[in-house]
Amino acid sequence: MGTAERKAREKEELKKLILESAKKLFVEKGIEQTTIRSIADAIQYSVGTVYVYFRDKNAILHALHAQGFTALGSQFKVLFNVADPMERLRAMGRVYIRFALENPDMYDLMFTVKAPMEFLNDTNEEEWTEGKTTFDVLKTTVKECLEAGHFAGHHLEPLSFMIWSLVHGMCSLYIGQRTKGVNLENPATIVDQAFDEFLLLIDKP
Amino acid sequence: MGTAERKAREKEELKKLILESAKKLFVEKGIEQTTIRSIADAIQYSVGTVYVYFRDKNAILHALHAQGFTALGSQFKVLFNVADPMERLRAMGRVYIRFALENPDMYDLMFTVKAPMEFLNDTNEEEWTEGKTTFDVLKTTVKECLEAGHFAGHHLEPLSFMIWSLVHGMCSLYIGQRTKGVNLENPATIVDQAFDEFLLLIDKP
DNA sequence: TTGCCTTTCTGAACAATGTTCATTTTATTT
DNA sequence: AAATAAAATGAACATTGTTCAGAAAGGCAA
């Protein structure tokens, strides 16, 4: 019987369709406008059908947030063509910042919105795989830096977390409109300027 | 006529009462449970009355967020008894982190929730006074550090923003449950450990 | 084809929320 | 005591996520 197989495929495709539609709405109109009804409207199915394929809205937002990590991760992968770990680390920072500022809503979903994490809690998942994987990429590079003699006296995990926190903090404050109090000549580049300060700090010795 | 005066005072007091009740609910039950109805219930007035004193929920949340900045600011003030600017800078970091971890919901409201900023936008306010004032306190200390010969080659504003971003990033990721991917011996102290790494970085001669 | 069963889909209905505003209640002034 | 002003009310509305009994569609055996 190829029927069961076909049905499974159709199910999978409808799930994909829901997700595509959700993503389109999310990117175009933001998280607020991405309602279950608007998704259902867009794919021309009823509200109830959406709930057949996703247990709740958190599940949809978690799936979207995972897509964000895939996108960011594939950008990071490219950077492993850079042999020098310090140079790669700098490039990762730039890429991260660019990604955040070009996709603010997606960035919010990945790193600040509660929904994706609530989904993990609700499904009793211990680990935040998406974040862990991406963080491991950073750690790998930091580790190579340490092995190359940089960051003498530092420790891998907390140092990596510190670096991540730094770039995240800048992006988070900027996207969250918390940079109004920081008066610069060119406020639009505050994040890049601050990152330069960090590079200056770690390049010193 | 002392009537008008008394009325004004009564109005002010009811406004305060609403805010106190809102804060209590906010601290005890979090932002989600702080609904207009629950506030109205708590002060034994009707829903409509709340709207007589606050244009909308954003206005209430903005007022609460301002209280948070007052609290944090008064903790910072104490630190100006520390003469050495570098030591004061370190202490500010500790105080900031402690404040964030001890008042996660308030911290969220101050630095990540959109509502307070939307209130500013809606009321056509250009500046984010609360944030600016607190950031100025940091800048003052960083400036003194620069004048004392530390951070050679750095620039005040972006350097200050970088430091703020660093501590904010750590707190933000921790509170937002994004530290699940960072496996440490003692995960509860990840923020402090990462801050130590930062201190190690800036203390290098 | 017909009738039965399973799967899929539907959309009305519910609860919770922010918000509004015509009406009522209370207070003040004349 | 009446008239006026101010303050408070709460029913009603729109919008959300969510549920679930029933309808529709699809597959399968007689």
Number of Cβ pairs < 8 A linking chain A and chain B:
164
Q: Model confidence over A176-188: pLDDT tens digits?
A: 999 998 877 787 8
Task: Give me B34's structure tokens.
Answer: 């702080």
Q: How far apart are CA B155 and CA B42, in angstroms?
A: 50
For residues B71 and B129, membership in a common domain is answered with yes
Residue A134 lies in a domain: yes
Q: Give domain status of residue A59, yes or no.
A: no
Per the domain annotation, does B59 fall within a domain? no
Among residues A137, A142, A140, A194, which one has the least CA distance to residue A163? A142
Residue of least CA–C1' distance to D16: A35
For B34-93, what is each residue's pLDDT tens digit?
999 999 999 999 999 999 999 999 999 999 999 999 999 999 999 999 999 999 999 999
**Residue A115, domain member (yes or no):** yes
> A84 and A156 share a domain?
yes
The pLDDT > 90 percentage for chain A reads 89
Q: Report if CB B53 to strand C is under 7 Å.
A: no
Residue A60 within a domain: no
Cα A94 to Cα A87, A99, A167, B187, distances in angstroms? 11, 8, 9, 28
Both structure tokens of A34: 């991405």
Higher pLDDT, B175 or A5: B175
CATH of the domain at A14: 1.10.10.60
First-residue to last-residue Cα distance in chain B = 69
A28 plus A72 within the same structural domain = no
**Whether the Cβ atoms of residue A158 and residue B197 lie closer than 8 Å to each other:** yes
pLDDT grade for A1, boundaries at 50, 70 and 90? low
Q: How far is the CA of A90 from the C1' of C18 (A)?
A: 45
Residues in A closer than 8 angstroms to B160, CB to CB, are 182
pLDDT tens-digit series, residues A47-87? 999 999 999 999 999 999 999 999 999 999 999 999 999 99
pTM of the prediction? Answer: 0.96
pLDDT higher than 60, residue A15: yes
Closest CA to A109 of A159, A72, A78: A72
Does residue B32 share a domain with residue B105?
no
Percent over 70 (pLDDT), chain A: 99
Confidence of residue A140 (pLDDT cuts 50, 70, 90): very high
CA of B65 to C1' of D10 (A): 29
- pLDDT tier for residue A2 given thresholds of 50, 70 and 90: confident
Domain co-membership, B72 together with B38: no
Look up the domain containing B12 and give its range. 1-54
pLDDT at A4: 74
DSSP, collapsed to helix, strand or coil, labels residue A183 as coil
SS3 string, chain B, reads: CCHHHHHHHHHHHHHHHHHHHHHHHHHHHCCCCCCHHHHHHHHCCCHHHHHHHCCCHHHHHHHHHHHHHHHHHHHHHHHHHCCCHHHHHHHHHHHHHHHHHHCHHHHHHHHCCCHHHHHHHHCCCCCCHHHHHHHHHHHHHHHHHHHCCCCCCCCHHHHHHHHHHHHHHHHHHHHCCCCCCCCCCCHHHHHHHHHHHHHHHHHCC
Q: Is the pLDDT of residue B1 over 70?
A: no
How does pLDDT run across A87-126, given as a tens digit for each residue? 999 999 999 999 999 999 999 999 999 999 999 999 999 9
Looking at residue B10, what is its pLDDT? 84
The 10s digit of each residue's pLDDT in B78-109 is 999 999 999 999 999 999 999 999 999 999 99
CATH number for B76: 1.10.357.10
Nearest to A169 among B127, B168, B177 (CB): B168
Indicate whether B90 and B168 sit together in one domain. yes
Give how many domains chain B has, as a whole number: 2
Give a yes or no: residue B16 inside a domain. yes
